Amino acid sequence: MAQLYRFHGGLPLDGRKGRLPIEPIRTAPLPARLCLPLRMHARGRLAPCVVAGQRVHRFEVLARPEDSGGACLNAPTAGVIEAIEPRGLPHAPGDIDLALVLRVDADSPFDALPFAPIEDWPERGPAELRARLVEAGVAGLGGAVFPTADKLMQACDTLILNGAECEPYIACDERLLAERAEEVLRGGLLLRHVLGAQRVLVAIEDSMAPAREALMAALTRINVDTLQLVEVPTRYPQGGERQLIEVLTGREVPIGGLPQDLGIVVHNVGTAAAAWRAVVHGEALVERIVSVTGPGVVEPANWRVALGTSIADLVAASGGYTERAQRLVMGGGMMGVSLPDDGFPIVKASTCVLVLDSASARPVEAALPCIRCGDCAEVCPPRLLPQLLHESLRSEDIEDAAQLGLEACIECGLCDLACPSHIPLVQGFRSGKTRLKLARRKAIDAHQARARYEARAVRLEREKQELAARRAEAGKQAASRAAIAAAIAKAKARSAGKSAESAREDEAP
């Protein structure tokens, strides 16, 4: 059994998963239209390669990254691009960006244009396999949505498949492991091949009995020494990338560093399965498993759902809302983001649609002054001092907050839970990160403007000096020409004088 370590802070939380881990995954019905935001990945907006009115096939590329790497956006069904228009983003409420509206072909929605399967992938080079993952739109399905190919650029020693689904209410990964364990493991071997890793650690929580049984059976069938199943204690936020690395290896990823700096790469188990389907079966990532749950839903379930399906359609498939439904959340009970309505689409980042009632939603209480108790620091996994961050942000000292590690905050919500003064710390930290980005953007813009001004001043001075030099040179040349002309005139005059004198001498008797 592998030695396990413990990360700083964290709390054991009630999972509140109900029967989701043991109920089979259902397939959501296709809606009439799908809304596909062009800003679906961590690397920004994609550039559409289709136009309104164009018919497309399932798996066909609809939008591409503007630079190398990244991940494409593919058609979840056959249909017609009805519009390219601004829509709201569920993973960034309040933001509006361009989205493709796809009218689903009701007669033949699964009319597909798959990629050529690469069954001999162990004999193919990493670059070719990464290119397939880009074309097939494979990105992180744990929530961060970082393009998978970009995380496969640097060789590593250890690949971790993250199935430690610690967020309350969410069970999409747990059920995926229970039903498709072999695909996850084979996808892990494929990613290991691309990375050149020596071992693959498959991490799940010790409470995931159905997933454990399925993985053990799959490991027996595959029979590869490089795969190792590791059960970690159920403690939130165990599934965080940095926390999981610390638990499995005893090593901490430094603030500002990356797991790759330690020779480690972490991928979600759903991402591994998607990579396997993309390479071996030629299927693009056009659907994902989503937990629809909470006391505000009539019939909680895990759904296999086409990207772009509206939350309203998905909740309707789950029987609709209960009378107690009060708050709609995209994500889990700790890190989820509240949504104003259910018109937003399911995207690659959508792990869960959570509908809370008044009893399950954390009450919004009036914030009291910080009493410096330190409870927030005790539970903070990145070892930050949330109380000091709070004070810096309150005093508008954004640079001091940055020095205190604002960007290292993982927004897990434990400081909010621990605070006896009911201060909405995470809300302030999210706002602070946005302000810090804006401040740095302004600083960069100011630096670039100053550089342009200085470059212009240097150019103008150079042009001034060059003009003066040209004028001086022109003056010298004019003086030289005048001197030459005078000399010539003098010579001519002297010659003319001599000629006149000679003529007079010839005329003398």
Which residues belong to the annotated binding site for [4Fe-4S] cluster? Answer: 370, 373, 376, 380, 409, 412, 415, 419
Give the number of C-alpha atoms closer than 13 A to the C-alpha of residue 131, restricted to the C-beta side: 9
As a whole number of angstroms, the distance between CA 399 and CA 55 comes to 50
User: H-helix or E-strand containing 304?
Assistant: strand 301-306
Q: Which helix (H) or strand (E) covers residue 205, if one does? A: strand 199-205
For residue 280, give the nearest of 134, 129, 117, 112 by alpha carbon: 117
Burial 238-255 (b: 16+ CB within 10 A, else e): bbbbbbbbbbbbeebbee
Q: In DSSP terms, which residues pair with 34 in a beta bridge?
A: 102
Number of Cβ within 10 Å of residue 357's Cβ equals: 15
CB-based contact 403:388 (threshold 8 Å): no
Q: Say if CB 355 and CB 328 are below 8 A apart.
A: yes
Helix H or strand E segment including 471: helix 425-507
Q: Which two tokens stand for residue 285?
A: 């990532």
Bridge partner residues of 290 (DSSP): 303
Residue indicated by tokens 């629809």: 292
User: Which residues are annotated as part of the binding site?
Assistant: 370, 373, 376, 380, 409, 412, 415, 419
Q: Which of 247, 102, 52 is nearest to 164 (CA)?
A: 247
Answer left, alpha or beta for residue 331, where phi above 0 means left and psi between -120 and 50 means alpha: left
Please choose, from the candidates 364, 326, 332, 362, the residue with its C-alpha nearest in 3D space to the C-alpha of residue 349: 332
Q: Where are the beta strands (DSSP E) in 325-405?
A: 327-330, 337-339, 352-356
Q: Give the residue ranges of DSSP H helices in 196-332.
A: 209-222, 241-249, 269-280, 311-317
Task: Give the whole-angstrom CA distance, residue 27 versus residue 370.
Answer: 48
Q: Output DSSP code: residue 153.
A: S
Minimal CA–CA distance to 201: which of 220, 217, 215?
A: 215
CB 95 within 8 A of CB 163: no
What phi and psi, each to the nearest 5 degrees, are found at residue 388? -75, -35
CA–CA dist 84, 393 (Å, integer) = 39
Q: What one-character DSSP code corresponds to residue 307?
A: T
